[in-house]
Amino acid sequence: MLDDPFASLVRRQVRHARLLRVGRTLLRPLQPSRLGRRREGPPNLVLIGVDTLRRDHVTAALTPHLQRLAADGVDFSDVTSPAPWTLPAFAGALTGLAPSLHGAQLVGEVRNMDTQPPRRLRDDAGTLARHLGRRGYATCAFYANQFFAFGLAESFQTHRYLNLRADDLLATAADWIRRHADRPFFCFVLLNDPHEPTTPPPDLLADELAALELPPAAPQELRHLARWGDPARPEAHLGLCGWPLPAAAQRSRELKRAVYRATVRASDRAIGRFADRLDRWGLGAHTLLTVFSDHGEEFCDHAAEACAWDHDPRRVRGIGHGHTQFQELLHVPWVSWGAGVPAHGPIARPVSLLDLAPTLADWLSCGPLPLPAVEIDGLVGRSQAGRDAAASGEVRTLLAEACAFGPDIVAVRQDGWKLIAHRDGRVLGLYDLAADPRERDDRHAAEPERLRRLQTVLAAWRTKLPATAARGPTDAANGGWSQLDSEVRKRLKDLGYGE
């Protein structure tokens, strides 16, 4: 087996996981299981968010366990995230509100999260956790990305940050479930494995590297690709190399993709084991399980545009997330199965990630998630429960906003077309997603009528946004990251933020 090239990067994770396993074993006699206690009432909910999972990587080859589980439920295959990075996207999924309504985002003409912390979730934003908690659910969140604690984690009765790999984080969640299974529960787990630094298990990494037609990679080269390459070698660093990609960067991209794929497989394997454990415990039939992602990841998919626009204040181009509104960042998975979920299989109609919380509330039959009435279609989610599995013919407007790096770029989707533009209306691209899903052919000059329709939506969004929408300074506007708790800064720096 391949020696773990990331051993030095995950040493603390491994040590912490080992201590937690020992602690669970020692405490088990003092924390008796409640699994055997039969109960009536509403189903349980387990919600697993996989940070940074591209929809095009949810395949039979990379996510066989997820494919197997989704076959007995619903797989929304065309889901648009409301934002291209973690905090506003997860907040949108769990509130049903767009970032401009829930407030958890960066603001300003040009954003740079390396120097500017984001706002927290608005205090008056309702969340799925609070909604279920008021109906008697025990609620708990385990999360490996600190941004979940910018107002979302606090809406759970119990919440805990744990920087662990997928298997260990899900094992911790399972232990909590074991001790709370005598009442309805909502357990949220945020896996961070595909997010940088990407450090997959050596067995899965070895499989992915073996499939490449490249000379073997040295451990040090792979360690650098836990991020995006060696900054001392800009010709091989994916964010610094420019466009077209030099030969060294082309190699880096293939290796980085292999590292990423291995983390996706690790997450899928852990989810499969976790779901099987719930079935062995007799909880599967009375539990609704959902897996989704907040955003995807770019591997120089649009590096040419990034170099031409030249608007990222970090001076990196075409990598990661938070910087554009292209599909590699906005197209995300959402699959559900279990109690209350119809066995529809794949559903191709376009939906928003904002639909997730209201849909889960309806499937649980716990009362509709309270959502505000707004004038602009696309700012608030809609429940997909009870809708026909086939495309309804309804023209849906899907919106995305809240970049973390660069100017205020937004996206408007309607009737198969997508506009990417500055919020003030300056056009960056118009794409026919049916014919051009990778957004290679900008049609804004060739399709003036399509462009006008989407610009009209954008203009209405800009002018009619409710007065309560998040505007103004960030929580730490004057002091930047230095005003935040030192432990919070440390956790986020481990993920590459605020450096």
- Going by C-alpha positions, the residue among 312, 322, 264 that lies closest to residue 291 is 264
pLDDT of res. 102: 96
pLDDT of res. 472: 42
**Burial of residue 219, with CB atoms counted within 10 A of its CB: 0-12 exposed, 13-18 middle, 19 or more buried:** middle
Q: Where along the chain do its domains lie? A: 44-386
- What is the phi/psi pair of residue 17, to 5°? -60, -40
Tell me how far the alpha carbon of residue 265 is from its chain's centroid: 16
Whether residue 437 has a cis bond before it, omega within 30° of 0: no
CATH 3.40.720.10 assigned to domain 44-386? The reply is yes
pLDDT of res. 159: 98
Q: How many Cβ atoms from other residues are within 10 Å of residue 363's Cβ?
A: 24
The secondary structure of 260-280, three-state, reads HHHHHHHHHHHHHHHHHHHHH
Q: How many Cβ atoms from other residues are within 10 Å of residue 348's Cβ?
A: 12
pLDDT of res. 236: 97
Q: Token match 């009435």: residue?
A: 373
**Residue-by-residue pLDDT tens, the chain, 499 positions:** 578 999 999 999 999 999 999 999 888 888 888 887 667 789 999 999 999 999 999 999 999 999 999 999 999 999 999 999 999 999 999 999 999 999 999 998 999 999 999 999 999 999 999 999 999 999 999 999 999 999 999 999 999 999 999 999 999 999 999 999 999 999 999 999 999 999 999 999 999 999 999 999 999 999 999 999 999 999 999 999 999 999 999 999 999 999 999 999 999 999 999 999 999 999 999 999 999 999 999 999 999 999 999 999 999 999 999 999 999 999 999 999 999 999 999 999 999 999 999 999 999 999 999 999 988 999 999 999 987 655 556 789 999 999 999 999 999 999 999 999 999 999 999 999 999 999 999 999 999 999 999 999 999 999 988 655 654 444 444 457 777 777 777 777 777 665 5
* Model pTM score: 0.95
pLDDT of res. 9: 94
- Size of the chain in residues: 499
The angle formed by the CA atoms of residues 293, 275 and 190, to the nearest 5 degrees, is: 30
**Burial of residue 362, with CB atoms counted within 10 A of its CB: 0-12 exposed, 13-18 middle, 19 or more buried:** middle
pLDDT of res. 474: 44
- Going by C-alpha positions, the residue among 313, 351, 280, 264 that lies closest to residue 75 is 351
